[in-house]
Amino acid sequence: MSEAVSFPAENLTPGVSAQGPLDRAIAEFAAAAVRADRVDPVLTELVRLRCAQYHDCRICASVRTQVALDAGYEESMQAKIANYANSDLSPEIKAALKLTDAMLIDPGAIDPDLAAELAAYFTPDQLVEICVDVMKWSQQKAFVALRIEPPVSDQHLTQLLWDKDGHPIFGEPIRES
Amino acid sequence: MQLLSHHSAAQLKVHHPEAGEELRRLEILLDQSSLDDGLLALCRRYFETELRHQPWDPPASPTPLEAACLEFCEQFRVSVDTMSDAQVQALLAHLSADDVYNLASAVYLLELSCRLDLTLEAVLP
Protein backbone atom coordinates (compact mmCIF):
# COMPACT_ATOMS: atom_id res chain seq x y z
CA MET A 1 0.00 0.00 0.00
CA SER A 2 1.08 3.58 -0.62
CA GLU A 3 2.20 6.14 1.88
CA ALA A 4 -0.68 8.14 3.35
CA VAL A 5 -2.18 10.32 0.64
CA SER A 6 -3.73 13.39 2.22
CA PHE A 7 -6.41 14.26 -0.27
CA PRO A 8 -8.79 16.87 1.22
CA ALA A 9 -12.02 14.97 0.69
CA GLU A 10 -13.70 17.32 3.16
CA ASN A 11 -13.37 20.07 0.55
CA LEU A 12 -15.36 18.20 -2.09
CA THR A 13 -18.59 19.85 -3.17
CA PRO A 14 -21.49 17.38 -3.31
CA GLY A 15 -23.09 17.49 -6.72
CA VAL A 16 -19.98 18.96 -8.34
CA SER A 17 -17.46 16.16 -7.86
CA ALA A 18 -18.76 13.50 -5.46
CA GLN A 19 -22.26 12.62 -6.70
CA GLY A 20 -21.69 15.09 -9.52
CA PRO A 21 -22.51 14.52 -13.20
CA LEU A 22 -19.41 12.44 -13.96
CA ASP A 23 -19.78 10.38 -10.79
CA ARG A 24 -23.42 9.65 -11.55
CA ALA A 25 -22.73 8.74 -15.17
CA ILE A 26 -19.96 6.34 -14.14
CA ALA A 27 -22.41 4.82 -11.66
CA GLU A 28 -24.88 4.24 -14.51
CA PHE A 29 -22.18 2.53 -16.58
CA ALA A 30 -21.37 0.37 -13.53
CA ALA A 31 -25.03 -0.48 -13.04
CA ALA A 32 -25.31 -1.55 -16.67
CA ALA A 33 -22.32 -3.83 -16.16
CA VAL A 34 -23.90 -5.34 -13.06
CA ARG A 35 -27.23 -5.99 -14.81
CA ALA A 36 -25.57 -8.26 -17.38
CA ASP A 37 -26.04 -11.84 -16.26
CA ARG A 38 -24.61 -14.21 -18.86
CA VAL A 39 -21.60 -15.13 -16.70
CA ASP A 40 -21.73 -17.31 -13.60
CA PRO A 41 -21.93 -15.08 -10.48
CA VAL A 42 -19.15 -16.97 -8.71
CA LEU A 43 -16.80 -16.42 -11.65
CA THR A 44 -17.80 -12.75 -11.72
CA GLU A 45 -17.06 -12.46 -8.00
CA LEU A 46 -13.60 -13.96 -8.44
CA VAL A 47 -12.87 -11.51 -11.28
CA ARG A 48 -14.08 -8.69 -9.00
CA LEU A 49 -11.82 -9.86 -6.18
CA ARG A 50 -8.84 -10.17 -8.54
CA CYS A 51 -9.36 -6.54 -9.53
CA ALA A 52 -9.61 -5.62 -5.84
CA GLN A 53 -6.32 -7.37 -5.10
CA TYR A 54 -4.51 -5.86 -8.06
CA HIS A 55 -5.60 -2.32 -7.29
CA ASP A 56 -5.42 -2.78 -3.49
CA CYS A 57 -8.94 -1.43 -3.23
CA ARG A 58 -9.94 -1.59 0.42
CA ILE A 59 -13.66 -1.07 -0.07
CA CYS A 60 -13.81 -3.76 -2.78
CA ALA A 61 -11.95 -6.25 -0.60
CA SER A 62 -14.26 -5.63 2.35
CA VAL A 63 -17.45 -6.84 0.63
CA ARG A 64 -18.80 -9.97 -1.02
CA THR A 65 -21.66 -9.92 -3.50
CA GLN A 66 -24.75 -11.65 -2.18
CA VAL A 67 -25.55 -13.03 -5.62
CA ALA A 68 -22.22 -14.91 -5.57
CA LEU A 69 -22.77 -16.15 -2.01
CA ASP A 70 -26.18 -17.44 -3.09
CA ALA A 71 -24.58 -19.16 -6.10
CA GLY A 72 -22.06 -21.06 -3.97
CA TYR A 73 -19.09 -18.70 -3.53
CA GLU A 74 -16.95 -19.81 -0.60
CA GLU A 75 -14.33 -17.70 1.14
CA SER A 76 -11.73 -20.40 0.53
CA MET A 77 -11.88 -19.44 -3.15
CA GLN A 78 -10.64 -15.93 -2.38
CA ALA A 79 -7.38 -17.31 -0.99
CA LYS A 80 -6.74 -19.13 -4.26
CA ILE A 81 -6.96 -16.08 -6.51
CA ALA A 82 -3.45 -14.75 -5.89
CA ASN A 83 -1.93 -18.02 -7.13
CA TYR A 84 -4.83 -19.16 -9.27
CA ALA A 85 -2.70 -20.81 -11.94
CA ASN A 86 -1.57 -23.43 -9.41
CA SER A 87 -4.92 -23.73 -7.67
CA ASP A 88 -7.75 -26.23 -8.03
CA LEU A 89 -10.09 -23.58 -9.38
CA SER A 90 -11.85 -24.72 -12.54
CA PRO A 91 -10.19 -24.24 -15.96
CA GLU A 92 -12.98 -21.82 -16.87
CA ILE A 93 -12.29 -19.65 -13.82
CA LYS A 94 -8.54 -19.77 -14.46
CA ALA A 95 -9.10 -18.62 -18.04
CA ALA A 96 -11.27 -15.71 -16.84
CA LEU A 97 -8.62 -14.70 -14.30
CA LYS A 98 -5.95 -14.85 -17.01
CA LEU A 99 -8.10 -12.50 -19.07
CA THR A 100 -8.49 -10.22 -16.05
CA ASP A 101 -4.74 -10.10 -15.49
CA ALA A 102 -4.04 -9.52 -19.16
CA MET A 103 -6.39 -6.54 -19.26
CA LEU A 104 -5.08 -5.08 -15.99
CA ILE A 105 -1.38 -5.67 -16.56
CA ASP A 106 -0.54 -5.54 -20.26
CA PRO A 107 -3.46 -5.71 -22.70
CA GLY A 108 -1.11 -4.81 -25.54
CA ALA A 109 0.62 -8.17 -25.12
CA ILE A 110 -2.35 -10.54 -25.24
CA ASP A 111 -1.38 -13.43 -27.47
CA PRO A 112 -3.58 -15.61 -29.70
CA ASP A 113 -3.17 -18.59 -27.34
CA LEU A 114 -5.15 -16.80 -24.67
CA ALA A 115 -7.82 -15.81 -27.17
CA ALA A 116 -8.12 -19.46 -28.23
CA GLU A 117 -8.30 -20.66 -24.63
CA LEU A 118 -11.04 -18.16 -23.83
CA ALA A 119 -13.02 -19.13 -26.92
CA ALA A 120 -13.14 -22.69 -25.62
CA TYR A 121 -15.01 -21.62 -22.50
CA PHE A 122 -16.91 -18.43 -23.28
CA THR A 123 -19.26 -17.07 -25.90
CA PRO A 124 -18.53 -13.61 -27.34
CA ASP A 125 -21.34 -12.22 -25.17
CA GLN A 126 -19.68 -13.66 -22.08
CA LEU A 127 -16.21 -12.45 -23.08
CA VAL A 128 -17.44 -8.91 -23.56
CA GLU A 129 -19.30 -9.11 -20.25
CA ILE A 130 -16.12 -10.16 -18.41
CA CYS A 131 -14.09 -7.38 -20.06
CA VAL A 132 -16.73 -4.78 -19.20
CA ASP A 133 -16.78 -6.19 -15.66
CA VAL A 134 -13.02 -5.68 -15.36
CA MET A 135 -13.53 -2.05 -16.38
CA LYS A 136 -16.39 -1.73 -13.90
CA TRP A 137 -14.48 -3.44 -11.08
CA SER A 138 -11.61 -1.02 -11.72
CA GLN A 139 -13.92 1.94 -11.12
CA GLN A 140 -12.41 2.43 -7.67
CA LYS A 141 -8.93 3.06 -9.13
CA ALA A 142 -9.73 6.77 -9.06
CA PHE A 143 -10.48 6.53 -5.36
CA VAL A 144 -7.49 4.30 -4.62
CA ALA A 145 -5.30 6.96 -6.27
CA LEU A 146 -6.64 9.55 -3.83
CA ARG A 147 -7.02 7.00 -1.01
CA ILE A 148 -10.65 7.80 -0.40
CA GLU A 149 -11.89 4.20 -0.49
CA PRO A 150 -12.07 3.08 3.15
CA PRO A 151 -13.39 -0.43 3.83
CA VAL A 152 -17.07 -0.72 4.65
CA SER A 153 -15.96 -2.26 7.95
CA ASP A 154 -12.58 -3.06 9.48
CA GLN A 155 -14.18 -5.76 11.58
CA HIS A 156 -15.97 -8.04 9.16
CA LEU A 157 -16.92 -8.67 5.55
CA THR A 158 -20.15 -7.04 4.41
CA GLN A 159 -22.83 -8.14 1.97
CA LEU A 160 -22.90 -6.22 -1.32
CA LEU A 161 -26.34 -6.25 -2.89
CA TRP A 162 -27.80 -4.52 -5.93
CA ASP A 163 -31.05 -2.65 -6.28
CA LYS A 164 -33.30 -3.42 -9.25
CA ASP A 165 -31.26 -1.09 -11.48
CA GLY A 166 -27.87 -2.48 -10.49
CA HIS A 167 -26.81 0.17 -8.00
CA PRO A 168 -24.91 -1.01 -4.90
CA ILE A 169 -26.37 -1.42 -1.44
CA PHE A 170 -24.24 -2.45 1.53
CA GLY A 171 -26.03 -5.09 3.57
CA GLU A 172 -25.43 -7.05 6.72
CA PRO A 173 -22.15 -8.35 8.15
CA ILE A 174 -21.23 -11.73 6.74
CA ARG A 175 -20.90 -14.35 9.46
CA GLU A 176 -18.06 -16.78 8.94
CA SER A 177 -19.37 -20.32 8.78
CA MET B 1 -13.58 12.81 -26.18
CA GLN B 2 -13.78 9.42 -27.85
CA LEU B 3 -13.43 6.65 -25.29
CA LEU B 4 -13.79 3.57 -27.47
CA SER B 5 -12.30 2.50 -30.77
CA HIS B 6 -14.72 1.72 -33.60
CA HIS B 7 -13.97 -1.96 -33.05
CA SER B 8 -14.88 -1.86 -29.36
CA ALA B 9 -17.95 0.27 -29.96
CA ALA B 10 -19.15 -2.25 -32.55
CA GLN B 11 -18.50 -5.22 -30.25
CA LEU B 12 -20.35 -3.56 -27.39
CA LYS B 13 -23.26 -2.67 -29.65
CA VAL B 14 -23.71 -6.36 -30.41
CA HIS B 15 -22.69 -8.05 -27.17
CA HIS B 16 -23.29 -5.51 -24.38
CA PRO B 17 -25.43 -2.68 -25.75
CA GLU B 18 -26.38 -1.17 -22.38
CA ALA B 19 -22.74 -0.70 -21.36
CA GLY B 20 -21.95 0.68 -24.80
CA GLU B 21 -24.70 3.26 -24.49
CA GLU B 22 -23.51 4.36 -21.06
CA LEU B 23 -19.95 4.76 -22.32
CA ARG B 24 -21.25 6.83 -25.23
CA ARG B 25 -23.04 9.06 -22.70
CA LEU B 26 -19.77 9.38 -20.79
CA GLU B 27 -17.98 10.49 -23.95
CA ILE B 28 -20.50 13.31 -24.37
CA LEU B 29 -20.28 14.20 -20.70
CA LEU B 30 -16.49 14.46 -20.82
CA ASP B 31 -16.86 16.87 -23.75
CA GLN B 32 -19.25 18.98 -21.69
CA SER B 33 -17.32 18.83 -18.42
CA SER B 34 -15.26 21.64 -16.96
CA LEU B 35 -12.12 19.54 -17.36
CA ASP B 36 -9.56 20.94 -19.80
CA ASP B 37 -9.96 19.28 -23.21
CA GLY B 38 -6.27 19.58 -23.98
CA LEU B 39 -5.31 17.94 -20.71
CA LEU B 40 -7.70 15.04 -21.29
CA ALA B 41 -6.39 14.60 -24.84
CA LEU B 42 -2.85 14.48 -23.48
CA CYS B 43 -3.85 11.79 -20.95
CA ARG B 44 -5.57 9.80 -23.68
CA ARG B 45 -2.55 10.03 -25.96
CA TYR B 46 -0.31 8.91 -23.11
CA PHE B 47 -2.41 5.80 -22.36
CA GLU B 48 -2.87 4.90 -26.03
CA THR B 49 0.86 5.15 -26.63
CA GLU B 50 2.08 3.33 -23.54
CA LEU B 51 -0.49 0.55 -23.53
CA ARG B 52 0.12 -0.13 -27.24
CA HIS B 53 3.89 -0.25 -26.65
CA GLN B 54 4.52 2.66 -28.96
CA PRO B 55 7.27 5.21 -28.31
CA TRP B 56 6.01 8.01 -26.08
CA ASP B 57 6.73 11.47 -27.35
CA PRO B 58 6.08 13.79 -24.40
CA PRO B 59 5.30 17.48 -24.83
CA ALA B 60 8.48 19.46 -25.40
CA SER B 61 7.62 22.10 -22.83
CA PRO B 62 4.86 20.78 -20.58
CA THR B 63 3.15 23.21 -18.25
CA PRO B 64 3.50 22.38 -14.55
CA LEU B 65 -0.08 21.06 -14.60
CA GLU B 66 0.59 18.88 -17.66
CA ALA B 67 3.73 17.50 -16.02
CA ALA B 68 1.86 16.73 -12.80
CA CYS B 69 -0.99 15.15 -14.72
CA LEU B 70 1.32 12.95 -16.78
CA GLU B 71 3.08 11.78 -13.63
CA PHE B 72 -0.31 10.98 -12.10
CA CYS B 73 -1.28 9.05 -15.25
CA GLU B 74 1.94 7.07 -15.25
CA GLN B 75 1.51 6.07 -11.61
CA PHE B 76 -2.15 5.30 -12.25
CA ARG B 77 -1.18 2.99 -15.12
CA VAL B 78 1.73 1.22 -13.46
CA SER B 79 0.73 0.91 -9.80
CA VAL B 80 -2.19 2.97 -8.57
CA ASP B 81 -1.87 1.69 -5.03
CA THR B 82 1.57 3.25 -4.66
CA MET B 83 0.44 6.72 -5.72
CA SER B 84 2.36 9.10 -3.49
CA ASP B 85 1.09 12.06 -1.57
CA ALA B 86 3.52 14.24 -3.54
CA GLN B 87 1.94 13.12 -6.81
CA VAL B 88 -1.53 14.07 -5.57
CA GLN B 89 -0.32 17.32 -4.02
CA ALA B 90 1.28 18.26 -7.35
CA LEU B 91 -2.18 18.25 -8.90
CA LEU B 92 -3.71 20.08 -5.95
CA ALA B 93 -1.15 22.84 -6.48
CA HIS B 94 -2.98 23.71 -9.71
CA LEU B 95 -6.51 22.36 -9.29
CA SER B 96 -9.22 22.41 -6.65
CA ALA B 97 -10.13 19.23 -4.79
CA ASP B 98 -13.29 19.01 -6.91
CA ASP B 99 -11.26 19.23 -10.11
CA VAL B 100 -8.71 16.65 -8.94
CA TYR B 101 -11.55 14.28 -8.04
CA ASN B 102 -13.15 14.72 -11.46
CA LEU B 103 -9.79 14.45 -13.21
CA ALA B 104 -9.08 11.15 -11.43
CA SER B 105 -12.47 9.85 -12.60
CA ALA B 106 -11.73 10.96 -16.16
CA VAL B 107 -8.30 9.32 -16.02
CA TYR B 108 -10.01 6.10 -14.95
CA LEU B 109 -12.30 6.26 -17.97
CA LEU B 110 -9.50 7.11 -20.39
CA GLU B 111 -7.20 4.37 -19.13
CA LEU B 112 -9.71 1.54 -18.71
CA SER B 113 -11.45 2.24 -22.01
CA CYS B 114 -8.06 1.98 -23.70
CA ARG B 115 -7.45 -1.32 -21.89
CA LEU B 116 -10.90 -2.48 -23.01
CA ASP B 117 -10.08 -1.57 -26.62
CA LEU B 118 -6.84 -3.54 -26.62
CA THR B 119 -8.37 -6.55 -24.92
CA LEU B 120 -11.36 -6.76 -27.24
CA GLU B 121 -9.10 -6.36 -30.27
CA ALA B 122 -7.11 -9.37 -29.07
CA VAL B 123 -9.85 -11.73 -27.89
CA LEU B 124 -12.56 -10.83 -30.39
CA PRO B 125 -10.63 -9.65 -33.47
Q: What is the ipTM of this complex?
A: 0.97
Asked if residues A147 and A153 have their Cβ atoms less than 8 Å apart, the reply is no
Asked if residues A10 and B93 have their Cβ atoms less than 8 Å apart, the reply is no
Do residue A25 and residue B26 have CB atoms under 8 angstroms apart?
yes
CA distance B61 to chain A (A): 26
Please say if the pLDDT value at position A150 is more than 90.
Answer: yes
Q: Kindly report whether the global pTM for this prediction surpasses the value 0.90.
A: yes
Q: Where are the alpha helices (DSSP H) in B52-84?
A: 64-79
Do residue A132 and residue B81 have CB atoms under 8 angstroms apart?
no
CA distance A128 to chain B (A): 6
Task: Tell me the torsion sign for CA atoms A16, A21, A25, A31.
Answer: positive
Q: Which of A13, A29, A99 sits opposite B23 (nearest CB)?
A: A29
Q: Which of A12, A109, A147 sits opposite B101 (nearest CB)?
A: A12
Provide, as residue numbers in chain B, all residues whose Cβ is less than 8 Å from the Cβ of A115.
122-125
Q: Which pLDDT does position A4 carry in this prediction?
A: 85
Neighbours of B75 (CB within 10 A): 18
pLDDT tens digits, residue range A35-81?
Answer: 999 999 999 999 999 999 999 999 999 999 999 999 999 999 999 99
Asked if residues A66 and A173 have their Cβ atoms less than 8 Å apart, the reply is no
Asked if residues B112 and A173 have their Cβ atoms less than 8 Å apart, the reply is no
pLDDT tens digits, residue range B19-63?
Answer: 999 999 999 999 999 999 999 999 999 999 999 999 999 999 999
The one-letter code for the residue type at A77 is: M
d(CA B1, CA B28): 7
- For testing contact with chain B, the best of A141, A144, A149, A167 (most B CBs within 10 A): A141
Answer with the residue of higher pLDDT: A4 or B102. Answer: B102
d(CA B32, CA B51): 26
User: What are the distances in angstroms from CA B19 to CA A42, A71, A124?
Assistant: 21, 24, 15
Please say if the pLDDT value at position B87 is more than 80.
Answer: yes
Per-residue pLDDT band for A176 (boundaries 50, 70, 90) equals low
Do residue B116 and residue A142 have CB atoms under 8 angstroms apart?
no
Q: Which of A33, A108, A144 sits opposite B52 (nearest CB)?
A: A108
d(CA B125, CA A21): 34
CA distance B118 to chain A (A): 6
Query: Exposed, middle or buried, A4 (CB in 10 Å: 0-12/13-18/19+)?
Result: exposed
pLDDT tens digits, residue range A79-119?
Answer: 999 999 999 999 999 999 999 999 999 999 999 999 999 99
Reported in sequence order, the residue ranges of chain A that DSSP labels E, i.e. its strands, are 63-65, 158-162, 168-173
Average pLDDT over residues B55-78: 97
In angstroms, how far apart are the furthest CA atoms of chain B?
44
Q: Which of B12, B51, B84 sits opposite A3 (nearest CB)?
A: B84
d(CA A129, CA A37): 8
pLDDT > 90 in chain A, percent: 96
Average pLDDT over residues A134-153: 97
CA distance B80 to chain A (A): 6
